[in-house]
Amino acid sequence: MSSINYSEKIPNNVNLGEDRTLQRALEGWQPNFINWWDDVGPDGSTNHEVYLRTAVSVDPQGWAQFGHVKMRDYRWGIFLNPGDANREIHFGDHKGEKAWQDVPGEHRANLRRIIVTQGDTEPASVEQQRHLGLTAPSMYDLRNLFQINVEEGRHLWAMVYLLHKHFGRDGREEADALLQRTSGDENNPRILGAFNEATPDWLAFFMFTYFTDRDGKFQLSALAESAFDPLARTTKFMLTEEAHHMFVGESGVSRVLSRTAQVMNELKTDDPQKVRAAGAIDLGTVQRYLNFHYSVTIDLFGADQSSNAAIFYSSGLKGRYEEGKRTDDHVLKGQTYKVLEVKDGQLVEKDVPMLNALNEVLRDDFIKDSVAGVGRWNKVLEKAGIPTRLVVPHKAFNRQIGALAGIKMSPEGRVVNEMEWAAKKDEWLPSPEDFAFVASLMGRVVEPGQFAGWIAPPVMGINRQPVDFEYVRFG
Ligand SMILES: [Fe+2]
Ligand SMILES: [Fe+2]
């Protein structure tokens, strides 16, 4: 067994070196983490030296140190944002009381569940993305994939730290189970649906990091409000890393669109078959991928009405997105919110107690944020003189969770019957042909400064390095 000096090897600002019990617990878990990384982490990457950003402290100089490292030797640090000893709970029934430094007994089971559910998504996405390195469209993109992978690994460490530090034996068991579930596994899958879907190609990867990492942003933002101070401070720091993941998705799709628009203009065509024949991804395929990832991701926010959501809020465990900036009473009793329900086969709005609708509130905040970026994608098409626009589908399209799961909808929000759904499905969601076509474009391009033909180069490199910088040294 390895004898790692954690206070040196694991960058941290939680005084790891002074807590022997915690240190021993993490020492027991660490080899299992490395085994997991070797088994289901980035395929064939062991000997690569990657130009990675490593966080060595939470201050502006320390959280983004760049240099070439082997991913296996990445220093998965444990960081909490600086605390405020006088911090007060600012929502729910405990509003105005002091924030908790330890887990109150009555909220222990719920807090553990929240942390485990968040923690489970982190290794899941590494597993979902594990083969993508073999088909990277450039060395720059390969580096970004690996950056996301190591940071999701660090996010797992962040949640495991909380479980080990604050939840005793059952926390340690949960930390072990985080390495035992596997994305897409029939017998022991990851907890949430979207984290068991395949990420088969780079268009899927960009959509995933745009939409599904953005779910991460909203969940982490809600947890950053928590009355349980260590959780609030941990998730606040995770958010600084999440921004890059969403950037990879947004700029990735932009670059796909920019290349497609160029091909359409060169060939003076909007015929998808001609665009495909020229080796670019037709806009219909991009729209269908968007429809899929958007609908699967908004399911992650859970049922539109949920008594758990009310309990989590009222007891101070999980706030709303930007709770502190809102001007209401932060207790929400007696307030209502509009949700959709299916009545006689049609969608109708109804008012429900807001506390029970907080999943829907967070989902709606997510939707607003998502739509803004889709607008920026459309600017790429507009600038290129292409009249087609991408749109997010209706909220009830392709839902599997909540009241809307019981209805079939077109992307524009028209209720359809099973027959029409079956007939149109391949126009609305990626078809086997779409996946096969996109897969046919996925060839590995890793010469510095070279890019696959279906994607435009980025506007600039990472950390002010040139685009043709040697981001990965192959060992
Ligand atoms: Fe994450
Ligand atoms: Fe992420």
Which ligand is in closest contact with the Cα of 208? 2
With respect to residue 44, please indicate whether it lies within any of the assigned structural domains.
yes
C-alpha closest to that of 163 among 241, 78, 55? 78
CA of 278 to the centre of ligand 1 (A): 36
Amino acid found at 460: M
For residue range 383-433, what is the model confidence (pLDDT) as tens digits?
Answer: 999 999 999 999 999 999 988 998 999 999 999 999 999 999 999 999 999
Q: What is the mean pLDDT of residues 10-28?
A: 86
Assess whether pLDDT exceeds 60 at residue 2: no
Q: What is the mean pLDDT of residues 215-226?
A: 98
Q: What is the mean pLDDT of residues 181-207?
A: 96
Which ranges constitute the DSSP H helices of 272-357? 272-277, 283-298, 307-314
CA distance 268 to 331: 57
CA of 238 to the centre of ligand 1 (A): 7
Q: Residue for token digits 């390095």?
A: 465
Q: What is the mean pLDDT of residues 216-227?
A: 98
CA of 154 to the centre of ligand 2 (A): 10
In terms of residue numbers, what domain contains 73? 6-473
Assess whether pLDDT exceeds 70 at residue 331: yes
CA of 184 to the centre of ligand 2 (A): 18
CA of 329 to the centre of ligand 2 (A): 32
pLDDT averaged over the chain? 95
With respect to residue 175, please indicate whether it lies within any of the assigned structural domains.
yes
For position 145, which CATH number holds?
Answer: 1.10.620.20
User: How many domains are there within the chain?
Assistant: 1
Assess whether pLDDT exceeds 80 at residue 1: no
Token couple for 8: 């040196």
List, as own/partner pairs, every contact residues 182-191 make where C-beta atoms lie below 8 angstroms and the sequence separation is at least 24, other chains included: 182/40, 182/127, 183/124, 183/125, 183/127, 183/128, 184/127, 184/128, 190/120, 190/121, 190/124, 190/127, 191/116, 191/117, 191/120, 191/121
CA of 211 to the centre of ligand 2 (A): 10
Token couple for 402: 């909540």
Token couple for 99: 């924030």
pLDDT at 174: 98
Of 132 and 11, the one with more pLDDT: 132
418, exposed or middle or buried, with CB in 10 Å at 0-12, 13-18, 19+? exposed
For residue range 423-462, what is the model confidence (pLDDT) as tens digits?
Answer: 999 999 999 999 999 999 999 999 999 999 999 999 999 9
**Predicted confidence band at 8 (pLDDT cuts at 50, 70, 90)?**
low
Q: What is the mean pLDDT of residues 120-146?
A: 98
Which ligand is in closest contact with the Cα of 211? 2
- DSSP 3-state of 179: coil
With respect to residue 430, please indicate whether it lies within any of the assigned structural domains.
yes
Quickly list DSSP for 364-386: HHHHHHHHHHHHHHHHHHHHTT-
CA of 148 to the centre of ligand 2 (A): 6
By percentage, how much of the chain surpasses pLDDT 70?
A: 98
Which ligand is in closest contact with the Cα of 246? 2
pLDDT at 416: 95
With respect to residue 186, please indicate whether it lies within any of the assigned structural domains.
yes
pLDDT at 6: 46
pLDDT at 59: 81
Which ligand is in closest contact with the Cα of 213? 2
Helix pair angle (108-128, 20-40), 10° resolution: 30
With respect to residue 53, please indicate whether it lies within any of the assigned structural domains.
yes
CA distance 194 to 212: 8
pLDDT at 15: 87
Supply the pTM of this predicted model.
0.96
Residues 404, 342: contact at Cβ < 8 Å? yes
With respect to residue 247, please indicate whether it lies within any of the assigned structural domains.
yes
Protein residues placing their CB within 5 Å of the ion ligand 2? 213, 216, 242, 245
pLDDT at 77: 86
With respect to residue 1, please indicate whether it lies within any of the assigned structural domains.
no
CA of 410 to the centre of ligand 2 (A): 30
CA of 238 to the centre of ligand 2 (A): 9
